């Protein structure tokens, strides 16, 4: 049975009312999620700041203790008395009792020492915490510590300065509670009464207790992170991820949470990070996560790590959990307004025939991508509002299509180019190479593939960090581009490997010329920030058709030739095959 126009208008108006109610409820629900997320981020940032301040307060207290011990009359008495003096032993015994008293009231300290400046940094008085006991190390077991940074760095301080070590896992020899534990050392110079630098007082802090204190007040849904100034994890929900730098495998926060790189580089004080697919944690499923990381200066101390990075993370489902109740209420509201819309549609259908037909026609045009045509936009009643809503919807859809098209073009570019250097990537290079092979075979000409590998680039990353390595790769790409012809193709395969396609060859001479130019370009050091880096090139060359007739073979043989050049002494080039002898 064919429905009449009135019935159709009624149904359409009801549908639009339901749609409007549904969209309103949906956007209200989404807005509440956004507000909850913002509030949770603010709370996490505040909690992170509080944790950072608590860490600083503990460090500041240890620095005060070190200053107090260094300036005690008992300490100066040890510094003033010669070792052969009959009173020297009594002075050291008195100082040892003071050290024991401090350790007794500060359970987070596991060792206090007085170390000489001379005699290779020999320990003078040393008290260790061994479980629940305090142990004074015998004179015969005292060790020379002058080769440790906390000793020679402290001895070079200006008067009044305090040394703060990086956080590390204590591997110093000696049976005490702190062995193999996360440790922070605070050191202060000791002067004799005549102003002579005698040595230093060192307090070793057991950070396990401090870390437990930091985590104690956190709800179980919040995960705590702490890194040093370079981004190495010191606290992580998975203990296997911590102190990797002391096991020969650095695990950096910026590799897991890339925006942390801005904090490490000093570009930002904090970052709020939302990850839809974070790395899995042991014993926990992978879920979308929101994290906050904060740069926390460690105070006015002399330290290789002037700041730490404190972070908290929480599953996003915990943030949005309160919205479930709101979703139920919103759904009820949508049902009520939908019913009201249906009743109003029945009442208004008689007066809406012609304007509604115009609107229906306009909606039909929207689906086909055409202009809306005539609409009763000048009406001051609901039909006018509806017409204007359709017009606005059409504008939004058109704008979104433009944005989507722009995103598609951007993604297409990114899929074929290297994001660091802007050069074509492996995928694009192989496409170009296959086309070039077809042209060369048709024109009966040669082409060359040059496989370029940087010598000693790994040392740059290890010595100066990945950020410097990235800047060096950008300079390398620019120098390589300068050496090749405009018709040649330069691409980055990945890491420190580049590849060059040279077309329209009649002989090997142009390839040899370009190889010499490439090597000569890198006789000059590369400036990356405040550093200069000297690199060499190992170049392998394959020729079509002598060394292969397809892209994969040519690239593989150029790679083999490159390794042959590297084995021959690096900073040179090698053809895969020797040229045929002249007749």
| Residue numbers annotated as active site | 496
Cβ neighbourhood burial of 378 (10 Å; 0-12, 13-18, 19+): exposed
Decide: 207 and 197 in contact? Cβ < 8 Å: no
- Tokens read off for 354: 């012609």
DSSP string, 14-64: HHHHHHHHHHHHHHHHHHHHHHHHHHHHHHHHHHHHHHHHHHHHHHHHHHH
Question: How many helical (H) and strand (E) elements, i.e. helices and strands, does the chain have?
Answer: 16, 19
Q: Are 437 and 551 spatial neighbours (Cβ–Cβ below 8 Å)?
A: yes
Q: Which of 394, 451, 439, 392 is nearest to 573 (CA)?
A: 451
Residues pairing with 99 in the sheet: none
Q: How far is CA 353 from CA 10, 350, 384, 393, 435, in A?
A: 10, 6, 13, 22, 62
Buried b / exposed e over 62-85, threshold 16 CB at 10 Å, is: bbebbbebbebebbbbbbbbeeee
Inter-residue contact 226 to 136 (CB < 8 Å):
no
Locate 302 and state its tokens. Answer: 């002399």
Beta bridge partners of 293: 271, 311
What the block records as the tokens of 569 is 């002494």
Q: How far apart are CA 580 and CA 583, in angstroms?
A: 9
| Rounded (to 5) percent helix, strand, coil in the chain | 50, 20, 30
CB contact at 8 A, 293 and 311: yes
C-alpha R_g of the chain = 36
List all residues 6 or more positions away from 337 whose beta carbon is below 8 Å from its beta carbon.
Answer: 17, 18, 20, 21, 24
Q: Which helix (H) or strand (E) holds 533?
A: strand 531-533
Distance between CA atoms of residues 162 and 187, nearest Å: 6
- Whole-number Å distance between alpha carbons of 11 and 13: 6
Environment class of residue 366 by beta-carbon count within 10 Å: exposed (0-12), middle (13-18) or buried (19+)? middle
| Cα angle value 360/363/367 (rounded, 5°) | 140
3-state DSSP call for residue 535? coil
SS3 130: strand
């Amino acid at each position: 049975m064919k429905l009449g126009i009135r019935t159709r208008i009624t149904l359409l108006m009801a549908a639009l009312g339901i749609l409007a109610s549904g969209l309103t409820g949906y956007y209200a629900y989404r807005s509440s999620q956004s507000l909850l997320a913002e509030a949770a981020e603010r709370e996490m940032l505040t909690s992170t700041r509080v944790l950072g301040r608590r860490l600083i307060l503990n460090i500041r207290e240890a620095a005060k203790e070190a200053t107090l011990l260094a300036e005690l009359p008992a300490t100066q008495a040890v510094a003033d008395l010669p070792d052969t003096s009959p009173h020297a032993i009594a002075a050291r015994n008195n100082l040892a009792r003071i050290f024991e008293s401090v350790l007794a009231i500060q359970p987070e300290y596991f060792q206090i020492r007085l170390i000489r400046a001379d005699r290779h940094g020999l320990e003078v008085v040393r008290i260790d915490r061994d479980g629940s006991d305090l142990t004074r190390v015998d004179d015969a077991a005292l060790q020379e510590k002058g080769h440790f940074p906390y000793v020679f760095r402290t001895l070079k301080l200006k008067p009044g300065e305090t040394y703060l070590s990086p956080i590390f896992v204590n591997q110093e020899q000696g049976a005490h509670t702190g062995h193999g534990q996360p440790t922070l050392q605070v050191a202060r110079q000791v002067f004799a009464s005549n102003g002579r630098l005698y040595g230093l007082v060192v307090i070793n802090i057991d950070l396990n207790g401090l870390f437990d204190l930091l985590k104690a007040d956190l709800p179980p849904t919040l995960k705590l992170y702490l890194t040093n100034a370079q981004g190495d994890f010191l606290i992580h929900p998975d203990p296997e991820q911590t102190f990797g730098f002391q096991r020969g495998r650095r695990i950096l926060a910026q590799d897991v949470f890339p925006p942390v790189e801005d904090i490490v580089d000093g570009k930002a004080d904090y970052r709020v990070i939302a990850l839809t697919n974070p790395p899995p944690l042991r014993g926990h499923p992978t879920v979308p996560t929101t994290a906050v990381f904060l740069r926390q200066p460690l105070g006015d101390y002399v330290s290789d790590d002037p700041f730490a990075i404190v972070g908290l993370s929480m599953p996003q489902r915990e943030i949005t959990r309160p919205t479930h109740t709101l979703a139920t209420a919103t759904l009820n509201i949508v049902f009520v307004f939908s019913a009201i819309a249906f009743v109003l549609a029945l009442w208004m259908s008689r007066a809406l025939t012609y304007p509604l037909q115009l609107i229906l026609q306009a909606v039909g045009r929207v689906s086909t991508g055409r202009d809306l045509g005539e609409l009763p936009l000048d009406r001051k009643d609901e039909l006018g509002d509806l017409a204007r809503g359709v017009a606005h919807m059409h504008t939004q859809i058109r704008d979104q299509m433009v944005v989507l098209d722009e995103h598609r073009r951007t993604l297409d570019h990114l899929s074929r180019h290297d994001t660091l250097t802007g050069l074509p990537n492996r995928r694009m290079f192989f496409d170009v190479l296959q086309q070039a092979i077809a042209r060369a075979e048709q024109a009966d000409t040669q082409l060359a593939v040059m496989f370029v590998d940087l010598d000693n680039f790994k040392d740059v990353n290890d010595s100066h960090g990945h950020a410097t390595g990235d800047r060096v790769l950008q300079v390398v790409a620019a120098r390589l581009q300068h050496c090749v012809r405009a018709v040649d193709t330069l691409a980055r395969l990945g890491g420190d490997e580049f590849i060059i396609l040279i077309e329209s060859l009649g002989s090997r001479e142009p390839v040899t010329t370009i190889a010499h130019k490439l090597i000569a370009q890198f006789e000059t050091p590369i400036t990356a920030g405040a550093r200069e880096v000297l690199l060499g090139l190992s170049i392998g060359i394959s020729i079509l058709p002598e060394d292969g007739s397809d892209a994969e073979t040519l690239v593989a043989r150029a790679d083999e030739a490159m390794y042959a050049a590297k084995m021959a002494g690096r900073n040179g080039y090698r053809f895969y095959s020797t040229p045929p002898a002249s007749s």
